[in-house]
Structure 1
Amino acid sequence: MRKVFNPISMLAGFTVMLMVTACNGVFDGIYDEVPATPSIMEGQLLVDATSWKDWCYVDFDSLHAYVERKDTAGLLKAQTRFVRCGIPTSLSSGTGDGQTGIYTYWFDVFGKGISVNEKRSFAPADVQPEPQSWSLAFHRNNVRTNNGAVLETNYTSMNDLPKNSAAFLGAVFQPDEWTENEVWVDRSQMLQSLIGCQGIMLNKVLSSWLKLEIPPMPPAFTHKSHVFIVRLSNGKYVAVQLENYIGADGTKCWLKINYKYPY
């Protein structure tokens, strides 16, 4: 399934966005806004991953606590409100570790496509802030785990999954890996085909459920509906599936995710 950007939204994307470095919901108790009446049911997440400037964190243990308390109303609310942590774009002190920071890459946007790219510069920055407890983090079409690993299945329905994760015990799960040109942060030089990217660990298997393609122009998204199994650092498993990535107003990267936890 393919959807294309609204050209007006693409033009607006060339404006410079200010970066923040605090975790809303951790340091100042502020959560991200969600639609007043989101279409969501138990076993689903509605994640606003539209921002270039921060990561949105989901903690499945916290969600499951509502299930154990039989607090359905609290659970539905928690499935739309998450901790957000801004992406650091500068170094507050010291010289850094030589790896953590913003990497500026040139992408062959108007030629062979963004798969062809070259590193142009590096600026050290602070380490990415994180909440104390989290399972998955989302940034537009990027997903990372908290020291977990991911398996892509051939299932396209949560109802068709085996009864539990024991069916996948012999499978190979892929951990996160270091990336320098996947998490696009600074678009102030986009007209020159230059993008500032965050150097960070990323799970490429899970991130493959929503792929950005350039060309064509305007850019297009490719959505994969497969169910993915995530092995969390606590030894538990969660099954996740991206059902939709378009918000009620047509904005891309509003992620509607089906999940089963613990699986």
Structure 2
Amino acid sequence: MLKKISSYILSLILPAMVLSGCEGGFDFVYDEPPTIEPTKWQVYIDASSWTEWHYLDLVAVSEQAKDNDGYDASSAFITIEIPMEATGDAEAVNGHRKPGLYKYWYDIFNGGLSKNEFREFIPTAAQPEPESWTFAVHRDNVRTNPAVVKGVWESPLTDISDVNPTVLTDAEFTADEWSENEVWSDASTMMSLIVPSQGINTNKVLSGWLTMSIPPIPPVFAHNNHVFILAMQDGTFAALQLADYISPNGTKCCLTINYKYPL
């Protein structure tokens, strides 16, 4: 009985604890929080929103930055909302890989995020995209543009300045794959341990630069600082590295990204 009561109480406070673990908990320390000032060949984006994808055209940004030390590459991100409005009736089956919100129940108290079950599918419009983009970020999720990127490989390097074509000898590149329980898009039903996620292709390798774990509560994030190599459709290669994922006021999923193109 005591265990049931404890689980119930935790389910009530879980949403706030998860959000506090993802957002800044020390805003009061600063009257005006300091800002991130990326260096050349680096971009910064606050990707902490649950409802936004942030797109970047890496080829265009690299061309602009090449001969312009004052170029603000971070300003090139294009932010687009995740479609949330239902376009049809909810369904109790899945497996069709349609655009929409997939509600999953998570066994927070036992198996954690790895133990989950599908509950409901709500159809929505497909995710809008800009005309030109290379990769996009949403919190701890990353996707690539299949028209531009063949796949991604995690290199063993941890210094992007060391990257050159010779490191690609044994590279194996992974394309984006379907995901329906990882791009969390709505916290309103977390009290029942059910979280809607956007059904969309993501790159599991590149998303590995930042992973969230529950338990514990608040969640913990693991930062992987390896350099990731993108194989482009035109035969060129690009490099990305997550340098940091926390804003000056403590908000998680605020990404500082090193980039290099072409190799």
Q: Name the TM-score class by shorter chain.
A: 0.7 to 0.9
Q: Distance in 2 between matches of 1:234 and 1:173?
A: 15
Aligned positions of 1:1-263 closer than 5 A: 10-11=16-17, 13=19, 37-68=35-66, 70-73=67-70, 75=71, 77-92=72-87, 99-147=98-146, 148=149, 149-161=151-163, 164-165=164-165, 167-168=167-168, 170-263=170-263
Runs of 4+ in 1 over 4 A off after TM superposition: 91-95
TM-score using structure 1 length:
0.81
Secondary structure of 1:181's match?
Answer: coil
8 Å contact 2:87–2:123 — kept in the other structure?
no
Deviation at 1:178, TM superposition (A): 0.3
Q: Distance in 1 between matches of 2:59 and 2:211?
A: 28
Aligned residue identity for 1:109: I
Q: Distance in 2 between matches of 1:41 and 1:98?
A: 40
Q: How many residues align?
A: 231
- 1:83-112 per-position Cα deviation (integer Å, ceiling 9, x unaligned): 0011012245899x8611100000111222
8 Å contact 2:34–2:248 — kept in the other structure?
no
Unpaired runs of 5+ residues, structure 2, are: 1-12, 21-32, 91-95
Secondary structure of 1:175's match?
Answer: coil
Q: Identify if the C-alpha distance between structure 1 residues 94 and 189 changes in structure 2 by more than 3 Å, giving closer, same or farther.
A: closer
8 Å contact 1:106–1:195 — kept in the other structure?
yes
Q: Identify if the C-alpha distance between structure 1 residues 189 and 237 changes in structure 2 by more than 3 Å, giving closer, same or farther.
A: same
Residue 26 of structure 2 is matched in structure 1 by none
Deviation at 1:216, TM superposition (A): 1.0
Q: Distance in 1 between matches of 2:248 and 2:113?
A: 28
**Greater strand content:** 1
Compare CA radii of gyration and give the structure with the larger one: 2
**Greater helix content:** 2
Q: Distance in 1 between matches of 2:156 and 2:18?
A: 37
Deviation at 1:121, TM superposition (A): 0.2
RMSD (CA atoms): 2.5
Deviation at 1:255, TM superposition (A): 0.5
Q: Distance in 2 between matches of 1:13 and 1:188?
A: 11
Unpaired runs of 5+ residues, structure 1, are: 1-6, 15-34
Q: Distance in 1 between matches of 2:240 and 2:15?
A: 29
Q: Distance in 2 between matches of 1:51 and 1:93?
A: 25
Deviation at 1:8, TM superposition (A): 11
Deviation at 1:232, TM superposition (A): 2.5
The percentage of counterpart residues that share the same residue type is 42
